[in-house]
Structure 1
Amino acid sequence: MTTQTTTPKTPSPATPGGATGLIGIPPHLGRALATGGGALTVVSTFLAWTWTSAFPGDLTVYGYPGGLQVLALIGGALTALLGLASYGVKGLRWLAPAGADPAVKFAALATLATTWYTVIAISAQLGGVVNLEPGGYLAAAATLIAFLGALALPFRHPDPDPFDPDSTSWERFRHTTAQRWGTVRAAFAPGTPRPAPTLPSWAEILVIVAVLGVALTVFTYGIGTEYDELFVGFLITAGLGFAALHRSGLIAQVTEITARHQNITICGAFVAAACFPFTQTDDQYATLGVYILIFATVALGLNIVVGLAGLLDLGYVAFLGVGAYAASLVSGSQSSPFDVHFPFWAAVLVGAAASLVFGVLIGAPTLRLRGDYLAIVTLGFGEIFRITANNLDGTSGPDVTNGSNGIAGIPDLDILGFDFGTHHDVAGVTIGRFANYFFLMLLITAVVVLVFRRSGDSRIGRAWVAIREDETAALAMGINGFRVKLIAFAVGASLAGLAGTVQAHVTYTVTPEQYLFAGTTPPNSAFLLAAVVLGGMGTIGGPLIGAALLFLIPNKLQFLGDYQLFAFGLALVLLMRFRPEGLVPNRRRQLEFHEEADAPAVLGKTGA
């Protein structure tokens, strides 16, 4: 038997540990180019990029960035700051706890993509590069220089991710030990920035407040983009900028802080969301806000079925429709065959109870199936619901749903004398109709989050996770799989029905075409499932963020026309390729997709 071992490579003298960049420029020169290019980009945003205001955003003003220049300014400033952090500047050490070199690459790429997209758009719309002013040429050259300098920087592996609050004590101990050992090694490694000291509790709470403020600002800016070019630039800057902060380790550090103060983070997130209507001057974007909350609430209910219990439900949007129809039939609509007008609390109970009953009736005979067979049956249920609602028109069947015309003329809510259909003045700010429903939907979302969190931490929640991981092993340990899955189905259906009661009053009309399996706009079953998978299955924030993105982006990309779904699908494919665990992953699922990251390296091979 002979043993072959690999000979360790000699570290490169240019960089510590032998890490090299993609081009032949020395790393120290690359840092200078990236930092200087980012600073020049900031300067260029205070110059005119074009001579005419025909291009949206009016990029003709000197000394005042506007439109897409603001995004280039943010990208350039981030590149310059990360470049300075790569030099080990003491005041910027907090910006890159895992090392700034990989983050500089993404920051420079974000700035380059946003700036060159703007330059190309100006040239295409106005008729050539002759329409560029010196500021546009300077921005294009500066971002290219910064990106070439970033390519010369060495690669470094990111530090371990922060512990998952859902993990066991042993997993937390292992992760904490790995982090401390990594900190010790980093302290003695040449060229590696030392991690920032641990903050006191009051300072960590201030960090959470600052993060929530930034999140509210970014969301408000994205939802309020006034023209198509600005929204595309926003997507580029926000996406690659988030990747840069993730590579720097700042996102991981903030995630660890929020995990230590989870209750404060959740409460602060709802307070920040409640501030959103006060940032709007009319109902134009508050409309999107209330629809996002409805979509997010339904996605969180689906997360119980898919994320916790592991049941693939392709007809979940039907439960939203059941709740909406049930509430509309008892809310005093002239199109309803029932001459009744229940108060809101009674309509909510009717909608949730109707969805609960349908969830039990559909789940009882079908939940003995597994995998693809269960998915096909639930897909069939969604189509049966839509076809049945179309046929209950008094001709093909009894007159209940008014057929394809649906239930129209649903009145606005009136709770304790508060009319949701009229404007109200709060602290000198006028709150419109959709803002009223936004606050109501925010309260319902808080209830759904509470139900999800409590049920996930309960005995039944642990049984759901056991069924999801290995149903055969769970059954062998004495878990009643059918009962556990039926409870998940029933709870998820009732939460969807709860959101459906508000949707019926917001939209005034409930029709079968609103509850398709797939379509160009949410909510539909395909988008709901994509929101759960995109955001992160089994988490609270994941479906909320995924639903917000999946509702906002298609509404903003309508200018693409027939290419809208193509661009959307391509983005999903890329996300699943590079981050299959979702934007806010559960650590267990993250390890399932990235097991090779924690596997020991093979140093040799044994042969006979």
Structure 2
Amino acid sequence: MTDTTLQTPAERGLLPLPAAVARPLIAVGAVGTIASAFMSWTWTPDFPGNLTIYGYPAGLQILALVAGALTLLHLLAQWRVKGLGWLNPSGATSPVLLTALSAFAVCWFTGIAIAVDLGGLVNLDPGAYVAMVASLLPVLGALALPHPAPGTGLKGYLGKPEQPRPGTLSPLAERAAVTVGTALGLIVFTYGIGINDDDSETFIGFLLVCVFAAWGLVHSGLLDRYTTMSTRHKGFAACLAFAAAVIFPFTQSNDHNANIGVNILIFATVALGLNIVVGLTGLLDLGYVAFLGVGAYAAALVSGSEYSPFQVHFPFWAAALTGMAASLVFGVLIGGPTLRLRGDYLAIVTLGFGEIFRITVNNLDGDSGPNITRGPNGITQIPDIQLFGFNLGDSHTFGSFTLGRFANYLFLMLIITAIVVLVFTRAADSRIGRSWIAIREDETAATAMGINGFRVKLVAFALGASLAGLAGTVMAHVNYSVNPQPYQFAGAAPPNSAFLLAAVVLGGMGTVSGPLLGASLLYLIPEKLQFMQNYELLAFGVALILLMRFRPEGIIANRRRKLEFHETGQLDVPAQTTLSEDAAVTKAGA
């Protein structure tokens, strides 16, 4: 056993324990956490998940088991066990601590939730106490491992450690790694979306494990390596992601989960359109949800609803083109006179446009104005879409699988989302896309270089509006109706402009996957945590404050914006050189 007094500062952790003791302590705690998942945590099935059965983990016990297994894996990787070096090639301490915190968080949260929900600690069975004690041991042991940044205290564990340059793999091995990563992502998403809406405790535990486990993967460098491989095989990774989304409905026995998936894709598609305006062009649009409403109302008026004043029934492709064209026209009409403004002035004008749209459709009820939108009642009884002889409102059987109405619409939205992603990526990589980025970085300099700033911004505004209109046409058919209530800046439930803007900022401006992830999180979390629905705006505000403080570039960062928001030390050497040259000139002059 090594005496802590003989350890160098770089070898000491926050706790005065030698590594020869810390690592076994972590291992014992991780194994104990795994074992506790097979014990009873409470005597009554009243707590969500039925944690009363010995030998059969369920609910939060499964999450504790996964967190304990991840802690053990990261420990063995940090311990340089043969075959696991790829998980933590630098041997960093922080991934072990973060995964240990995932087990600690879910076990202690469960114990406290049982005591609070059921009325006291007497409702905890021995398994809960074992889980709480066992999950604490890896945290203590990780704090005794070599400190990643000596002298910085707990703050030093938050900084991402430097990773060695990864070795190269064969193209086949990289594709296999991307396939495994996609499969794991599908499993995690399927498990999370499958948690019952009234089981908020299990979903909170799921979020805790995901946050700390993902944080640990970032610190170990594994997520960066996976991103690099996915970028190197971009087409293959995109096809895998699309295939995983197609497989998702076949994993669900409840069509309600497919409905959640449809809404996520609708809002993610609209967020991608907003990402063109905000992320690529740098225009702050606070009334973007109005374009979604324009597309939805335009499709509702021509899709055969008996409450539409225009008794016409266009096929879906014509209704979709009508919605896109209407949003495009409104985008040009609003953008034409306003896009010469900048910054806060543009934001105020777009906010006003959003409110004008909502008030207008609310007043076109036959009393305050012509009877076109039926005012607050909206346009209802919009028929389901029919494509190639298939009615998307009917259930369809494929072998032993039965796909309901929302699963059918999910497949339709997957195709539309793929089209929107293709349009976004092609536009961003084109000449006009580089002009958007130049306008975002410095409009004055871009104009001086010959870029027509007004025309470029108008194209971005119109393209983003038309993509939102396309998503609106599907949303009108999915919901069977449209009404003015959702189309406001901030509301009790999405869609609203605040939700869409938060999805873009949270996920990562200027990226494709960022708005997809942001829309998924911001829709799924309130859906599963019913008690938060009355505090949705408060939750948005807190999340954005934390994000701006710790990761202003978003969860999935655009490389350019990441360099803007974080000091990389690239200017240190030139600055020191300049000072040295100034000192030399001064000395020579003296």
For the criterion TM > 0.5, the same-fold answer is yes
Q: One-letter code of the match for 2:483?
A: T
Q: What whole-Å deviation, never above 9, does each CA across 1:250-289 have from its counterpart, x for those lacking one?
A: 1011011101001111111111011111111131111111
Q: How does 1:183-262 map to 2 (within 5 A)?
A: 197-226=167-196, 227-262=199-234
Counterpart-to-counterpart distance in 1, 2:194 and 2:382: 29
Counterpart-to-counterpart distance in 1, 2:497 and 2:252: 30
Corresponding residue for residue 578 of structure 1: 550
Q: Is the 8 A contact 1:75 1:107 kept in 2?
A: yes
Q: Please point out which of 359, 364, 369 is paired with 1:397.
A: 369
Q: Is the 8 A contact 1:99 1:156 kept in 2?
A: no
Query: 1:597 deviation in Å?
Result: 5.5
Corresponding residue for residue 179 of structure 1: none
Q: One-letter code of the match for 1:420?
A: L
Q: One-letter code of the match for 1:358?
A: F
Q: Is the 8 A contact 2:106 2:209 kept in 1?
A: yes
Q: Please point out which of 528, 536, 546 is paired with 2:518.
A: 546
Q: What whole-Å deviation, never above 9, does each CA across 1:130-166 have from its counterpart, x for those lacking one?
A: 2222221111111111111112223437xxxxxxxxx
Q: One-letter code of the match for 2:334?
A: I
Please list every run of 5 or more consecutive structure 1 residues that lacks an aligned counterpart in the other structure: 1-11, 158-181, 187-194
Counterpart-to-counterpart distance in 2, 1:603 and 1:134: 62
Q: One-letter code of the match for 2:7?
A: A
Corresponding residue for residue 103 of structure 2: 111
Q: How does 1:383-462 map to 2 (within 5 A)?
A: 383-462=355-434
Query: 1:32 deviation in Å?
Result: 2.6
Corresponding residue for residue 76 of structure 1: 68
Corresponding residue for residue 102 of structure 1: 94
Query: 1:575 deviation in Å?
Result: 2.4
More deviation, 53-62/350-359: 53-62
Query: 1:197 deviation in Å?
Result: 3.5
Query: 1:418 deviation in Å?
Result: 0.5
Q: What whole-Å deviation, never above 9, does each CA across 1:460-483 have from its counterpart, x for those lacking one?
A: 000000000111110010000000
Counterpart-to-counterpart distance in 2, 1:535 and 1:60: 38
Counterpart-to-counterpart distance in 2, 1:86 and 1:300: 39
Query: 1:312 deviation in Å?
Result: 0.6
Residues 1:572 and 1:38: Cα distance change in structure 2 (over 3 Å):
farther
Structure 1 residue 14 corresponds to structure 2 residue 14: no
Query: 1:13 deviation in Å?
Result: 5.8
Corresponding residue for residue 157 of structure 2: none
Corresponding residue for residue 137 of structure 2: 145
Residues 1:484 and 1:28: Cα distance change in structure 2 (over 3 Å):
farther
Structure 1 residue 557 corresponds to structure 2 residue 550: no
Corresponding residue for residue 45 of structure 1: 37
Corresponding residue for residue 162 of structure 1: none
Q: Please point out which of 465, 487, 493 is paired with 1:493.
A: 465
Corresponding residue for residue 169 of structure 1: none
Residues 1:538 and 1:288: Cα distance change in structure 2 (over 3 Å):
same
Q: Is the 8 A contact 1:93 1:196 kept in 2?
A: no
Residues 1:477 and 1:568: Cα distance change in structure 2 (over 3 Å):
closer
Identity %: 62
SS of structure 2 residue aligned to 1:259:
helix
Counterpart-to-counterpart distance in 1, 2:242 and 2:200: 29
Query: 1:572 deviation in Å?
Result: 2.9
Counterpart-to-counterpart distance in 1, 2:113 and 2:41: 12
Cα RMSD between the aligned structures? 2.1
Corresponding residue for residue 77 of structure 2: 85
Q: Is the 8 A contact 1:31 1:86 kept in 2?
A: no
SS of structure 1 residue aligned to 2:279:
helix
Aligned length: 563
Counterpart-to-counterpart distance in 2, 1:490 and 1:332: 27
Query: 1:569 deviation in Å?
Result: 2.9
Counterpart-to-counterpart distance in 2, 1:199 and 1:75: 29
Structure 1 residue 287 corresponds to structure 2 residue 259: yes
Q: One-letter code of the match for 2:60?
A: L
Q: One-letter code of the match for 2:277?
A: V
Corresponding residue for residue 23 of structure 2: 31
Q: One-letter code of the match for 1:534?
A: L
Corresponding residue for residue 590 of structure 1: 562
Query: 1:596 deviation in Å?
Result: 4.5
Q: Is the 8 A contact 1:35 1:81 kept in 2?
A: no
Q: Please point out which of 292, 304, 319 is paired with 1:347.
A: 319
Q: What whole-Å deviation, never above 9, does each CA across 1:473-499 have from its counterpart, x for those lacking one?
A: 100100000000000000000000000
Please list every run of 5 or more consecutive structure 2 residues that lacks an aligned counterpart in the other structure: 150-161
Query: 1:373 deviation in Å?
Result: 0.6
More deviation, 464-473/422-431: 422-431
Q: One-letter code of the match for 2:66?
A: I
Counterpart-to-counterpart distance in 2, 1:384 and 1:564: 24
SS of structure 1 residue aligned to 2:257:
helix
SS of structure 2 residue aligned to 1:91:
coil
Residues 1:424 and 1:597: Cα distance change in structure 2 (over 3 Å):
farther
Query: 1:215 deviation in Å?
Result: 0.8
Counterpart-to-counterpart distance in 2, 1:32 and 1:452: 51
Structure 1 residue 332 corresponds to structure 2 residue 325: no
Q: One-letter code of the match for 1:221?
A: Y
SS of structure 2 residue aligned to 1:314:
coil
Residues 1:310 and 1:433: Cα distance change in structure 2 (over 3 Å):
same
Q: How does 1:459-538 map to 2 (within 5 A)?
A: 459-538=431-510
Query: 1:414 deviation in Å?
Result: 1.0
Counterpart-to-counterpart distance in 1, 2:34 and 2:92: 19
Q: One-letter code of the match for 1:81?
A: L
Residues 1:444 and 1:117: Cα distance change in structure 2 (over 3 Å):
same
Structure 1 residue 124 corresponds to structure 2 residue 142: no
Corresponding residue for residue 309 of structure 1: 281
Corresponding residue for residue 59 of structure 2: 67
Query: 1:567 deviation in Å?
Result: 3.7
Counterpart-to-counterpart distance in 2, 1:90 and 1:599: 40
Query: 1:519 deviation in Å?
Result: 1.2
